[in-house]
């Protein structure tokens, strides 16, 4: 017997949930020794959830939450299309905030019980 699909939460509820998961990810990364630089950098290409710094590296962090692994889970949802948009948004960020630091992309995947999977250097920058 399968469970009926639950109604999809309203947009404002999803946004609040996303913000809570971003704060959870940020706290986790700070506990791992990273320093917070910026949150929710928005531009025409999309949004970078967190910009952090780890020693001499600027880290662009995509936070993904999924209640289940039904379609591959949170980490699998960062497909090549999403990666391309994140790269474009990072370029925009770097044009506005030039830095000599090396850069990388990390993904923080959060599951239903708030288990955290930190994928360092999840994909390459291409610049």
Domains and CATH numbers, the chain: 11-123 (3.40.1350.10)
What is the pLDDT at residue 104? 95
What is the pLDDT at residue 75? 63
What Å distances lie between residue 78 and 1, 44, 72, 97, CA to CA? 31, 19, 10, 25
What is the pLDDT at residue 127? 47
Question: Six-digit token pair at 3?
Answer: 């469970």
Question: Six-digit token pair at 41?
Answer: 């950098």
Residues 6+ apart with CB under 8 A from 47: 40, 41, 89
- What does the pLDDT average to over 8-28? 83
Report the C-alpha gap between 87 and 13 in whole angstroms.
28
- What does the pLDDT average to over 35-61? 96
Question: pLDDT category, 114, cuts 50, 70, 90?
Answer: confident
What is the pLDDT at residue 118? 95
Question: pLDDT category, 4, cuts 50, 70, 90?
Answer: low
- What does the pLDDT average to over 96-103? 96
What Å distances lie between residue 104 and 30, 71, 88, 100, 120, CA to CA? 17, 26, 13, 13, 8
Report the C-alpha gap between 11 and 19 in whole angstroms.
12
Report the C-alpha gap between 107 and 120 in whole angstroms.
7
- pLDDT tens digits for range 71-99: 556 666 677 888 999 999 999 999 999 99
Question: Six-digit token pair at 54?
Answer: 């780890």
- What does the pLDDT average to over 58-81? 75
């Amino acid at each position: 017997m399968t469970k009926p699909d639950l109604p999809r939460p309203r947009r404002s509820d999803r946004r609040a949930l996303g913000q809570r998961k971003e704060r959870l990810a940020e706290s986790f990364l700070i506990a791992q020794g990273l320093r917070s630089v910026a949150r929710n950098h928005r531009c025409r290409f999309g949004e970078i959830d967190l910009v952090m710094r780890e020693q001499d590296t600027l880290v662009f962090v995509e936070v993904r939450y999924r209640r289940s692994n039904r379609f591959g889970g949170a980490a699998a949802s960062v497909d090549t299309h999403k990666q391309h948009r994140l790269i474009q948004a990072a370029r925009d960020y770097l044009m506005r905030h030039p830095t000599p630091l090396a850069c990388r992309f990390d993904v923080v995947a959060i599951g239903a019980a708030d288990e955290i999977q930190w994928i360092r250097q999840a994909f390459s920058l291409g610049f």
